[in-house]
Structure 1
Amino acid sequence: MSKQHAEVFDDVKQMVAMNPNLTLDELNAVMQLKVEERNNRPNPDFCGLSPTQMFNWLYKPMDELNWVTICTPEDFSSSPVMRYLTLILDEAMQNDGSFKATSKGNLPAKLVKQASELLPEFAIATYERDISLSEFAGSNEDKFNALHYTRILAEIAGIIYRRSGRYHVKKTAQKHYQSQGIRAFFKPMLEAAVTKYNWSYLDGYEQDVDLRPICLFMVWRLQSHASVDQLVDEVERAFPDLLQQVAPDNHYPPENRLDILIESRFVNHFLEFWGFIIVDPKRYDHGEAIARKAQLQPLFTQTFQFDIQPQ
């Protein structure tokens, strides 16, 4: 953005040099016009977005976004998060709105087992070679990242809460579930994931780099070309300040560290948990690096519908 400001001031300086008799009001009007022109001009560093468009995506709440429509799909059978949430809600609704938590405060073993059994129904199962390392199955909630993530989101979104050793579904959420089904919670859960949930929670990296504000930009780019490698390059070009936020490391330069964070926090622990994409975890074949190509799932394009032409 600072580059844009510098260009505006250069334009104004040139205008003053050519018209030295401009009044202060006239000068302010010229500057305002120049700023608006620059802000609405496509910027190649933003892959063709204008600063105005980028500002909207970075800072506006979900219900005030422009150039994109966030839709609620009809079918959630391919979404781990929404399937797990359904299990949680059904378990509570069958027991007068609540169920007992474990002594540690986790979801009960019965529910964990049910959630684990869903794995073969998800696209991600294609790459689940070692079930003991899976993030989509486990013997308890602590060893089952996608389920744990779902439970945390449901609490953040105000759908469930824990009290006196039991998980309860809020009364309003019970009514919504009875009248609208699981669709009622898609947008609240998605908003909680993008704006309230701490993306660094599951990955263990001590990097204070918040990728949540640029989530929509990354979604748009990945829908455009399905390349994780190209996405990382575009993020570095559009948001060079992120590289300054990556802590120094003796083994990896900032570009590599940021790449790791994008893959972990955005690709693995957001897009794949929701069933939006899958990416082959294999990185090398006979010593040669494999391009990271995302397989975009129908749920991805059904949810995020852009009216900006791909670049």
Structure 2
Amino acid sequence: MNKPKQFLEFVQAELDKKEVGSLDEMNQQVSIIIEKFNSLPVAPFLGLSPTQMSNILYRPLSFENDVFTFECQNINKFKEVPLFRHSMFLLNKLKNEGEIKATQIGNLPRALVREMYNEFFFEERYARLPNNEDDVLGITMVKHVLEISGLMKKRTGKFSLTKKGENLLVKDGQAQIFNEVILTFLNEWNWAYGDGYPEFYQIQRSVVFNLYLLHKKCQDWVSDKEIGQFYLNAFPTLVQEAKWPFSPEDEVINCFSIRFLNRVCLPLGLLEAKEEVVEKGKRIEYYRVTRFFKESFGFKETV
């Protein structure tokens, strides 16, 4: 049904139930009706209401919000998050060495990049021995996240721990490091970094909905295109930002798949992935939520 028509019919049906004696009373009733309408679940939002969606789109992600709570206090569980393992590796490297000299353009040195590559990234698709930090997105990402979170700094051409980073490592504050890294990655790191797609900032701003989408639709294996279509159903106006003139819908879906499913959820240990080769040169990616996701997120019963 046409949304404006649906809204007007809803308002009229609600007003027909009331006896309104004055214009002020009518205005008051209309305000109540609008609030009620905006609290109704919407199918493309997978049962969330417009009010809930507004609340989660215009606030930074927190571990407790209108849709879910996230809690992980088990240090052994932290190790299931690749981004945390990468972060601890680099932080402990700085702790042991004190300072690490940056390259002329401010990157991590090649020797350290290759050490991290051999430790964490050598099995990735299209992996090749890197010549510099820019050859491995995951290394660039963890460097920036640690700098943004205030755990690591670069001064006079050298990387070192901040006081905050030093204190947390001395106190074995892995839980706080975990929280700092995850929230910085989700709220402040630019997910669009280097992916070649239009800005599509909505994909990052809707992170709470994105995680809710995984909860609702990815309990078992589902293709990246199907997940992307669910996302596009919720935010169809994103096609107006697309640059592909012949298939703007596919551009949004592909961007969501790469930017969120592949480059956010996999480093956070929220999804596991597999692929199916359907014909030469063509693959279908499938995802489902991990045990870590199921054990760490609590989705609210009202949702």
Q: TM-score band (shorter)?
A: 0.7 to 0.9
Deviation at 1:217, TM superposition (A): 1.4
Aligned to 1:294: 287
* Larger deviation, residues 190-199 vs 165-174: 190-199
Aligned to 1:42: 41
Aligned to 2:69: 69
Deviation at 1:95, TM superposition (A): 3.4
1:52–1:107 distance in 2 versus 1, CA, 3 Å: same
Match of 2:81 among 64, 79, 82: 79
1:91–1:255 distance in 2 versus 1, CA, 3 Å: same
Match of 1:146 among 132, 138, 160: 138
Aligned to 1:275: 269
State the distance in 1 between where 2:215 and 2:143 align.
27
* Larger deviation, residues 196-205 vs 262-271: 196-205
- Contact between 1:82 and 1:182, CA under 8 Å: does it hold in 2? no
Question: Structure 1: where are the runs of 5+ without partners?
Answer: none
SS at match of 1:162: strand
State the distance in 2 between where 1:14 and 1:278 align.
47
State the distance in 2 between where 1:37 and 1:172 align.
46
State the distance in 2 between where 1:11 and 1:87 align.
57
Deviation at 1:117, TM superposition (A): 2.9
State the distance in 1 between where 2:267 and 2:242 align.
25
Match of 1:192 among 173, 184, 197: 184
State the distance in 2 between where 1:166 and 1:217 align.
39
Number of aligned positions between the proteins: 294
State the distance in 2 between where 1:23 and 1:33 align.
15
Q: Deviations over 1:252-282 (max 9, x none)?
A: 4111111111111111211122232232355
Deviation at 1:233, TM superposition (A): 1.6
Matched, 1:24 2:49: no
1:65–1:21 distance in 2 versus 1, CA, 3 Å: closer
State the distance in 2 between where 1:235 and 1:131 align.
29
2:22 is aligned with what amino acid?
T
Aligned to 2:116: 115
Q: TM-score normalized by structure 1?
A: 0.82
State the distance in 1 between where 2:140 and 2:295 align.
25
State the distance in 2 between where 1:114 and 1:304 align.
33
State the distance in 2 between where 1:139 and 1:182 align.
31
State the distance in 2 between where 1:30 and 1:70 align.
38
SS at match of 2:267: helix
Deviation at 1:181, TM superposition (A): 3.1
Question: Structure 2: where are the runs of 5+ without partners?
Answer: none
Deviation at 1:242, TM superposition (A): 0.8
Matched, 1:223 2:215: yes
State the distance in 2 between where 1:29 and 1:202 align.
50
- Contact between 2:80 and 2:269, CA under 8 Å: does it hold in 1? yes
* Larger deviation, residues 58-67 vs 141-150: 58-67
Aligned to 1:209: 200
Aligned to 1:258: 252
- RMSD of the alignment, in Å? 2.9
Matched, 1:247 2:243: yes
Deviation at 1:221, TM superposition (A): 1.5
State the distance in 2 between where 1:231 and 1:92 align.
39
Aligned to 1:233: 229
State the distance in 1 between where 2:263 and 2:279 align.
28
2:273 is aligned with what amino acid?
V
1:232 is aligned with what amino acid?
G
- Contact between 2:72 and 2:78, CA under 8 Å: does it hold in 1? no
Q: Deviations over 1:152-208 (max 9, x none)?
A: 111122222211011122212321232243321222222222222222212123x12
SS at match of 2:78: coil
1:51–1:274 distance in 2 versus 1, CA, 3 Å: same
Aligned to 2:299: 306
Q: Deviations over 1:25-58 (max 9, x none)?
A: 3112211221221122111121111122222221
Q: Deviations over 1:96-125 (max 9, x none)?
A: 4x33222331123343233223338xxx94
- Contact between 1:62 and 1:191, CA under 8 Å: does it hold in 2? yes
State the distance in 2 between where 1:130 and 1:15 align.
59
Q: TM-score normalized by structure 2?
A: 0.84
1:84 is aligned with what amino acid?
H
